[in-house]
Structure 1
Amino acid sequence: MKLKKPYHSNDITHKYAAMAFRKKMHEYLDLPGTYHRRYPTEVVLRTMATGRMDELYSTKEGMLINLKEESDVVTEKTLAKLGKYKTFASFIYGMPLYTGVICLKNPKNFPKEYEISPTDIIRPKYYYFSQEKLWKNYDTIINKVEHNIELSEKEALHIAFVPKYISKKYSEYVTKSFSKLFKHAKIPDEKLKRDIAFILMTMILSNIDDETEQDQLLEAIDMDAYRDDMEEIVYSRYGDELERVKAENKKELAKKDKELAEKNKEITRLKTNFAKAIEEINARKDIPSKTKKLLISTVLKS
């Protein structure tokens, strides 16, 4: 099965990668509670305006988590929007909501709270990966793998998330480095290693442009070893949806095949008519040869 860029949302590899990514990000950030299930992210406000959260899921302890990734500065306007999401989600699902913001810029001076109402104040928790810390985590992984030292769960997750949050200038280099050492990383929990492999796969497809290099790195992390597990898990969770999509695609292809056949039939009819018209023009004895050429040229251009 040819792996595709992450935007191919119907590819089962990326359905599982997205599912693994959410759960492992929850663990990586040490967010409260235990990840349980994801909820629709589209929001309809009282003004009938719509919005979309980056992530909305619940924990087994009965809390909603709205996790947002912000590449720019966070302002009061940002918090006002997050406040509206909080009001909507808490009302719809009847659970308290925790707001986390993953910041790509230092949040030191970002607003700490926003008053939705006198009795409802949103206080987001900011998560920031400094480049210094990311390089420190990178060096930790390189040194431990080179010396055959077992990785903790948090350290293992660095392999999945450092390539995502490191500066774009170095994301390709870091992705390649981690991909080449991944098979040698001592991660005792096979399920954890499998999930990290799926996330690292997404980083490869996101950060490496050359398809030949993509294939080499996917082979390096031994994706084929996890493929059967991946398909079994995805079909157990998304099987009905995947079969529905397949049926819809089959129906759509049949419709397109029918339309193409009709177009081909029309083209054949036109070619036959043109040939007949040209034959009739050539058969006329009362039309000068130059005029015939002009008429034939006109027919062929029509």
Structure 2
Amino acid sequence: MMKKHINNPYDYAFGILYTEFPKELHELLNIPGKFKRKSNVKVRLKNGKVLEMDSSYVVDSDFDELYEPAVVNLEHQSTPVDEEKIKIIGNYNIQQIADERLPPFNVIATHIDKEKSLQKYKRTPTNTTELYFIDLGEKNIQQRLNTVSNIVRTNEKHLTIKDALNLGIIVLFAPRDNARNITRKVLDLYMQIKHMPKKLEFTLYSVISAMINAYFDDEKEYDELINMINYETEDEIIDKFETEIRTQNKMKEVEQFANDAIEENKQLKAKIKELEKKLESK
């Protein structure tokens, strides 16, 4: 078995799409509202721990589903939303309201049937965290794949940015029982696209490489696909990707160390209080 070198490839791939093309991602996912600007994604909890939202941005009303500006918390979910996750989303909302003075809008992008997720959580009698689900199930992904395939097949190799970005969405949200087959199709289409802007090429290369890392455990298969995508990608893009992966993995280690230290400090304080009570009783 091959050693994985990307820390949570699903979150990494989604993060690249959001970081590089937030407006286009918002529009491609058909989320209500009109994208305005990015917002803060860092969240500091009461216990001192720091968490990070998948994405956070401000939208204006579209007068269709959204009738006033809001701050969107767009989360990518590769597993059903459970009670722990929806509580965390509620904590994110507190940070967003403090940062933007706007109502929060919680959006979940997932390939999983929303009925398997917890959709609402009552925190207090007057405060409820509710989720808005974007259906990226098998039917939706197949439609996107067919659209991009048809464009490439008719020799329209100069795809729009949105058309090309659909490849990232397709491979990230691919049905897990068919993910390897879809990844190969996406890679084939990527290799046929010519004259991409550098930022777009970096984004698609990063997302597809991350998903190859996520879906292919067999080292021979993995090497085959990585060699294929590397052959069609400039060395500058590959080097940037590898540098970013090393940096992100290191940052994750540092954040984990800091959070572990906070937890140890919390436990130490609890032990000190317990000892003080015992001393007082004596």
Aligned to 2:65: none
Paired amino acid for 2:133: Y
Q: Deviations over 1:107-143 (max 9, x none)?
A: 3797876666687664432111121121122222233
Instruction: Find the aligned partners of 1:115 and 1:170 in 2 and give their Cα distance.
Output: 36
Q: Structure 1's 84 and 185: CA in aligned 2 closer, same or farther, altered over 3 A? A: same
Does 2:162 align with 1:160? Answer: no
Question: Cα RMSD (Å) of the superposition?
Answer: 4.4
| Structure 1 residue 168: Cα displacement | 1.4
TM norm structure 2? 0.61
Aligned to 2:133: 126
Does 2:18 align with 1:22? Answer: yes
Q: Deviations over 1:190-218 (max 9, x none)?
A: 42233112111111111122233323322
Does 2:173 align with 1:172? Answer: no
Task: Give the number of the structure whose alpha-carbon radius of gyration is greater.
Answer: 1
Q: Structure 1's 187 and 170: CA in aligned 2 closer, same or farther, altered over 3 A? A: farther
- Asked if 2 retains the 8 angstrom alpha-carbon contact of 1:26 and 1:35, the reply is no
Q: Deviations over 1:59-103 (max 9, x none)?
A: 598964322234555578865553333124423x34433321123
| Structure 1 residue 225: Cα displacement | 3.5
Does 2:111 align with 1:104? Answer: yes
| Count of equivalent residues | 232
Q: Structure 1's 37 and 84: CA in aligned 2 closer, same or farther, altered over 3 A? A: closer
Q: Structure 1's 192 and 37: CA in aligned 2 closer, same or farther, altered over 3 A? A: farther
- 2:7 is paired with a residue whose SS is coil
Structure showing greater relative contact order (alpha-carbon pairs closer than 8 Å, 6 or more residues apart): 2
Instruction: Find the aligned partners of 2:105 and 2:54 in 1 and give their Cα distance.
Output: 12
TM norm structure 1? 0.58
Unaligned runs of 5+ in 1: 249-302
Unaligned runs of 5+ in 2: 61-68, 254-282
Aligned to 1:268: none
Paired amino acid for 1:228: E
Aligned to 1:7: 7
Aligned to 1:40: 42
- 1:68 is paired with a residue whose SS is strand
Pick from 132, 149, 156 the counterpart of residue 149 of structure 1. 156
Q: Structure 1's 228 and 37: CA in aligned 2 closer, same or farther, altered over 3 A? A: farther
Paired amino acid for 1:212: K
Does 2:48 align with 1:55? Answer: no
| Structure 1 residue 232: Cα displacement | 5.9
Q: Deviations over 1:31-81 (max 9, x none)?
A: 54255365325x424xx4968555243459896432223455557886555
Aligned to 2:191: 183
Aligned to 1:219: 227
Greater shift, 173-182 or 96-105, is seen at 96-105
- Asked if 2 retains the 8 angstrom alpha-carbon contact of 1:115 and 1:122, the reply is yes
- Asked if 1 retains the 8 angstrom alpha-carbon contact of 2:74 and 2:109, the reply is yes
Q: Structure 1's 186 and 27: CA in aligned 2 closer, same or farther, altered over 3 A? A: farther
| Equivalent residue runs for 1:278-297 within 5 Å | none
